[in-house]
Structure 1
Amino acid sequence: MPPQAVKINARAWDEVADSIEFVPAAYSSKTRPESAAQEMLRCGPGDIETLVAAGLPFDVQSGVRHFDVNDLYNLGMYSGRSNTQPELAFRMLFRFAGRQVADLLHPKSWDFQVRLDCTECGGVAPWRFEAPDAVRFGGAVNHVVAPTRASEGTAEYKATVTTTGVRTPLVSSELRSLTRDYLEAGYRWQMVPVAMQANYQLVHTLGSTSCIAASLLLAERFRAAGYRAEAKRGWFCGVLGGALDLPHASVEVEDDDGVLKTVDIAKAQLAARLSSNTEAFQDLCLGSIYNKVIPSTASGSAAFATHECGSQTPVHVRADIRSLR
């Protein structure tokens, strides 16, 4: 790489760091060592020094600087380099959004497997898992293997889940106006820790947004306008063969026609940012359902799983969702 290119990259990292909001210390978990940061951002030690000087938070563990993975994702996403791991991952994530919308409306089956880990387990106890709930949107859940007995440490949930898509655009002018106002407010999508997303007022005060935070705020505005609405969590399917586990949420609202609609506000935002030919998909996100999302019984700010062992450490939920052809 010529010297001039290195210099340009160093200045650009300054600009990127200034343009995003780093995770506040109260929600930050600095688990990625400096070597992993360089790999994620496709950068060198000098670039990390530049980012640290520009305010990138870190902790020193055993003499090595460690960073929050959300901060690293956001730096990569907004770097404009096209080769960072976050950019490549999200480009692959949304490559479907520029294709024919009809592909998202037919029934589709998924091999759904979730591993639950209570990492600081207090002993044998029952599990509670917010299971897939595709039935209420015309899908099905079959061949269920659930953690029905009390156990210690780990548990699994397995099922075959069928999703489908239906065009049900918002008919209420009030709901459409509130949705449009949110999209035009200028919030910047960022990767945010799930616990911080539940504090949706803080997220939006920082000028940021995320799927859970956006859904919680939009549901609140829908209810204030007199509509029955709730933010609900779920899973986004078929991402890197099940290898990318992203928290997902949307708003479920009863429209003027009495039909339960889904407003997937964050996916509409991301699609608009990442690709220029996703208008049809963005429209689909504003009221309709599509077959790449599995809804669950969990509310927008709730955990997917709990273990009644007394541990104060949240259960780690790892989903592996693969398309059945």
Structure 2
Amino acid sequence: MTVESAAPDALVGALGRFRTVPRDIGRYDTDAATAAQALRAAPGQVDLLAAEGLPHVVDPERGPLFDYDDLMNVGMFCGTGQTVPELGLRFLMRFAAAPRSSWYAPREWEVGVYPARTAGGDPVGAEAALAAGAGLPEVTVRVPDLSAPGVELVGGGPFEGALRTGGYEAAVRLTGADQNVRDPRIHAAWNEVVEGLASRRVVYQTVPEPLRADHHRAWELGVADCVVASRLLADRLRAQGLEATARRGYLLGLFGSDHAWCDVVEDGVHKSLDPVFAFVATVGDERGVARSPEFAAACFGSRFNRLLPCVTDSAEPLVYFDGEPAPYWAMVGVGARPRRTS
């Protein structure tokens, strides 16, 4: 299939709408062919991005190599509606347009976590790596948090500790909760973070794992994703004497997406705060997602039946390669579907 959906001017136009990965943490290992696949563009269009200033290095054999997170942001901000990140976000957020009751009712999921070990999950790339003697990384993944409210294991496991080598399959029942928040301290911290995104003072975009780990630097640079926003919100709440932590797990659909949110305890009840979901549902069609003020409001306290939390202390990475946080593209190997009960 020929993929030339993205117009060159659209891709180049995206360059001024997000902030590129700081050079000191850039990971320039994605070639033009992989970039073209993610952006649904011709290789020549990717070369044009390099010529127009998208950070890269030039390998004498492979040509220009890009940071995968930068490429995802080109795709997210180009406005074609056809790139992998645009389609992924729109698909994952479709549930926000469903009836409110469907966000909370008990729902069973079959989950498979086998992270991809080459960019885009390309089996040819894996074969090439092995042929070159490079080998493939050892994969370690975080397991579901069965102690979290609304999470019940109904198949697979058992799960012990926080990490498992390789991958896993499991069936889980997730039950949401329609909840609100009263404490004015929580309202103030929430408004500060959400307003930072809504005002565009801080750009919601893909953020690489090293910068997620330094979330205060990310916020000061004017960039945030779900991990950065959730960690910052948890910090603000703890500074007010509240019990709060950043959580991380999977947003389930036909595939699983890495997602993070904040957990705060009010009157002994764990309540979920999701500033990024709230922001995306507020801006709506700007990113190809249906606008939903009702869903945005529900993100302030409610728990959704599509979020599977994993065992973490503060939204640490879900996947590791040889003990180091895995690249963004490893999530290609995470899948989920409604469980068949008959």
Taking structure 2 as the reference length, the TM-score comes to 0.78
Q: CA deviation at 1:50?
A: 3.9
Q: CA deviation at 1:267?
A: 1.7
**Structure 1 residues not aligned, in runs of 5+:** 1-5, 122-126
Q: CA deviation at 1:23?
A: 1.3
Say whether residues 1:167 and 2:178 are aligned partners.
yes
Could you tell me how far apart the structure 1 residues matched to 2:224 and 2:63 are? Answer: 31
Q: CA deviation at 1:324?
A: 0.7
Could you tell me how far apart the structure 1 residues matched to 2:34 and 2:100 are? Answer: 37
Match of 1:94 in 2: 93
Q: Structure 1 residues 29-38 or 313-322, which shifts more? A: 313-322
Say whether residues 1:140 and 2:139 are aligned partners.
no
SS in 1 for 2:30: strand
Match of 2:84 in 1: 85
Q: Sort the Cα spacing of 1:154 and 1:176 in 2 relative to 1 into closer, same or farther, 3 A.
A: closer
What amino acid is aligned across from residue 191 of structure 2 in structure 1? R
Q: Describe how 1:1-325 pairs up with structure 2 within 5 A.
A: 10-45=8-43, 47-61=45-59, 62-115=61-114, 119-120=136-137, 130-146=142-158, 155-185=166-196, 186=200, 187-238=202-253, 241-242=254-255, 245-255=256-266, 257-273=267-283, 274=287, 275-304=289-318, 312-314=323-325, 318-325=333-340
**Structure 2 residues not aligned, in runs of 5+:** 118-134
Is the contact made by 2:14 and 2:77 (CA closer than 8 Å) also made in structure 1?
A: yes
Q: Sort the Cα spacing of 1:271 and 1:277 in 2 relative to 1 into closer, same or farther, 3 A.
A: closer
What is the identity percentage for the equivalent residue pairs of Structure 1 and Structure 2?
28
Q: CA deviation at 1:191?
A: 1.1
What amino acid is aligned across from residue 36 of structure 2 in structure 1? Q
Match of 2:121 in 1: none
Could you tell me how far apart the structure 2 residues matched to 1:305 and 1:188 are? Answer: 25
Q: CA deviation at 1:294?
A: 0.7
Is the contact made by 1:18 and 1:54 (CA closer than 8 Å) also made in structure 2?
A: no
What amino acid is aligned across from residue 274 of structure 2 in structure 1? D
Q: Sort the Cα spacing of 1:155 and 1:38 in 2 relative to 1 into closer, same or farther, 3 A.
A: closer
SS in 1 for 2:110: strand
Could you tell me how far apart the structure 2 residues matched to 1:77 and 1:321 are? Answer: 23
Q: CA deviation at 1:279?
A: 1.3
Q: CA deviation at 1:166?
A: 0.7
Is the contact made by 2:31 and 2:62 (CA closer than 8 Å) also made in structure 1?
A: no
Q: Sort the Cα spacing of 1:109 and 1:204 in 2 relative to 1 into closer, same or farther, 3 A.
A: same
Could you tell me how far apart the structure 2 residues matched to 1:312 and 1:89 are? Answer: 27
Is the contact made by 2:112 and 2:334 (CA closer than 8 Å) also made in structure 1?
A: yes
Q: CA deviation at 1:19?
A: 1.9
Q: CA deviation at 1:45?
A: 5.0
SS in 2 for 1:94: helix
Q: Sort the Cα spacing of 1:319 and 1:35 in 2 relative to 1 into closer, same or farther, 3 A.
A: closer
Q: Sort the Cα spacing of 1:225 and 1:12 in 2 relative to 1 into closer, same or farther, 3 A.
A: same
SS in 2 for 1:269: helix
Could you tell me how far apart the structure 1 residues matched to 2:64 and 2:263 are? Answer: 42
What amino acid is aligned across from residue 282 of structure 1 in structure 2? A
Could you tell me how far apart the structure 1 residues matched to 2:303 and 2:175 are? Answer: 8
Q: Sort the Cα spacing of 1:138 and 1:13 in 2 relative to 1 into closer, same or farther, 3 A.
A: closer
CA offsets, 1:214-271, max 9 Å, x none?
1111000001111111111111111xx22xx43211111112x331111111222223
Q: CA deviation at 1:64?
A: 1.8
Could you tell me how far apart the structure 1 residues matched to 2:155 and 2:270 are? Answer: 27
What amino acid is aligned across from residue 190 of structure 2 in structure 1? T
Q: CA deviation at 1:276?
A: 4.6
Q: CA deviation at 1:53?
A: 3.4
Q: CA RMSD in A?
A: 3.0
Could you tell me how far apart the structure 1 residues matched to 2:225 and 2:191 are? Answer: 16
Is the contact made by 1:34 and 1:65 (CA closer than 8 Å) also made in structure 2?
A: yes
Taking structure 1 as the reference length, the TM-score comes to 0.82
Could you tell me how far apart the structure 2 residues matched to 1:159 and 1:133 are? Answer: 12
